[in-house]
Each structure stands twice: as structure tokens, then as C-alpha cells.
Structure 1
């Protein structure tokens, strides 16, 4: 199963994976189900756009990127707006990280030859908490600022990680959350 297919839905519990995955614990202002839906929609668009990199294009298509995400990554954060994307940009900036991303710059971060991680899954931990799982080839430290930006703009209020966890932990958490 390819990355784009994993973005589209949660994996079967009997799916085999790498021995360890990197995780990000995300607190969100949205319901965890809505948050995961937003992450999947934007990530799917980014991965599809990155396929254009191989054609030598200097401009990646933005048409599949949800409008609310494209708006804030173009610098259109209005003072006083209270939507989750705008709040996420503020949270990202307040944590003292990198400068906010421009949309084209962010899309080019998804070049599969340059990106140090690939999507694995998202599991709902509670009503307002989600665990993002990515394959970092077992590396505990890797470039992932584009993922952190995605997490915040999709509605995160806090993002902790990456933390390496055994693949069996993903299976256990995914199993528990699907029964509940």
C-alpha cells in the first residue's frame, strides 16, 4: 500500500509496517475526527501536487489544496479571525519555530526525493487529541517542519514530537480506538 492510499484511510490492523514509527501528539481545538479529516485532505493534495515535481515544473498545482489551507499559507491571516487555520498559524508562530510557509514553498517540501518521512496513519487518542504516525526510517531526529506546519494549520493547539514508538504500539492504539 502506497503513501497516498495510507493518507486516504486508516490501515487494516494486520498491515505490516516498519519496526518503529515517529509520532507526534497533537492537541486540537476541533473534534479529533474533524482534525484527522482536515489533515488527510491537505496531505493528499500535497502528495498529489508533489508528483508534478518530476515533470520539472517550477509551479506546483494548488487546485486540490483546500481553500482554507491555501488562504493562510498565502499569508492571508486576518487579524481577529477565529477559525482553526488562523489560530493554528498563530500557534505555530508563537512556538518560536520557522517562519510560516508560503504555499508553493510548502508544496515543494513534499518532493519524495527530499522528504525525510512518509505518512503512516492518524489515531484518535481522545475527543481533542490525535497521534500522527510517520515513517522516518527509524530516525529519531529528521526534518519535519512542513509536517509541523500542516499539523498547526489544520487546527492544532500543541504539537509534541517526534517520538519513536514501536510498530506494535500503533497496532495497539489503533485497535483500542476502533473498538471505542
Structure 2
């Protein structure tokens, strides 16, 4: 993926986009269902993604480790490579849902952080829209690709408290604009 796709990504994570924003012709979406209020889920998701992007912006991806200092403790606690019952019920539950739905082990934090190398990452954050009190749609720029490496993104969605994550599904930019008619987040 071109590094220019990441220009403005942190700003898009930290605040919702205006409806008239220009963007790529198509975006990939992930439908997330959670047991918590969508507003709380969105806050958790944005906090971790913002920390990961800030970390990546400062990281030396040629080193053996990447700083974990900005990553929220509750996320780091469940991103330990094995099923762990952490102090954060939503993160622990999301981790268990990931394992049961994906048949994968939880991610190791260092492995997860290295996936944010802009030379390797197959997606760039775009936006999110709230569909209901417990459902959100996460929008990413996948350069129009319907299939792209995104398991680290899926882990993020689950570890923030998702019960289920479906996608990616490619949608037109006009569908994102339509979803912004009634911005809930």
C-alpha cells in the first residue's frame, strides 16, 4: 500500500470526518456487534488505534522491539498470545470471541505492533459509523482490494469488546457519505 494512504490517518481516528470529505472511490467495511454501548466501544477502539498509529509514527521497524508505552494497559493485558482473563471484562470477552470465531490464538503485542509498519499494512483507517446501540461499521481504505491482510485489524476490533466482526465488505464512498447523514459518533 502506498504510504500516502496514511496521510491524515491519525486525524481521522481522533475525530469523525465531515460528510463532504473526498476519499477513495471504494472502502472496505467491517460490521462489529458488541455487548456494550456503541459509544463506549467507539471510545475504546479509537484510543487503541490512535495509540498504535502514534507508536508506528515513532517506531523503528528495523529494531527488535517497538515501544508499548502508549498502548492502553487493558489492551496490552489481553494481547499476550494466550487466553488471559484480564481485569477488563470487555477485552477478555472480546479475546475469547476472537479465539472461538477465528480459530486463532490471541495476538502478541509486539507482533501486533509490527503490523503497523506502513510498508506492510494493507489498510488505512477511514472512519466509523454507528448503526445501533450495539453495532458499528468500521471503514478502512484497502486501495479497493476486497481481500487484504487485516487480521491485526480484526484482533483490534475484538479485543476492544466485539462479540462478532464480519467483513471486509467493499462499499462505495457514496455509501459512506450516506451513512454520515445522521452522524452518531
TM-score normalised to structure 1 length: 0.92
Q: Which residue of 1 aligns with 2:4?
A: none
1:149 aligns with 2:129: no
Q: Deviations over 1:63-110 (max 9, x none)?
A: 11111101111247128x771000000000001343210011101100
User: Residue 60 of structure 2 contacts residue 66 of structure 2 at CA under 8 Å; is this kept in 1?
Assistant: no
Alignment of 1:99-178 (within 5 A): 99-178=105-184
User: Residue 130 of structure 2 contacts residue 136 of structure 2 at CA under 8 Å; is this kept in 1?
Assistant: yes
Gap regions ≥5 residues in structure 2? 1-6
| Bigger Cα displacement from structure 2, 54-63 vs 139-148 | 54-63
Q: Deviations over 1:30-56 (max 9, x none)?
A: 111111111110001111111233463
User: Residue 38 of structure 2 contacts residue 134 of structure 2 at CA under 8 Å; is this kept in 1?
Assistant: yes
Classify the secondary structure of the residue corresponding to 1:15. coil
Classify the secondary structure of the residue corresponding to 2:137. strand
| Large movers: runs of 4+ above 6 Å | none
Among residues 38, 41, 52, which one is paired with 1:46 in the alignment? 52
TM-score normalised to structure 2 length: 0.90
Q: Which residue of 2 aligns with 1:78?
A: 85
Gap regions ≥5 residues in structure 1? none
1:7 aligns with 2:35: no
Aligned length: 178
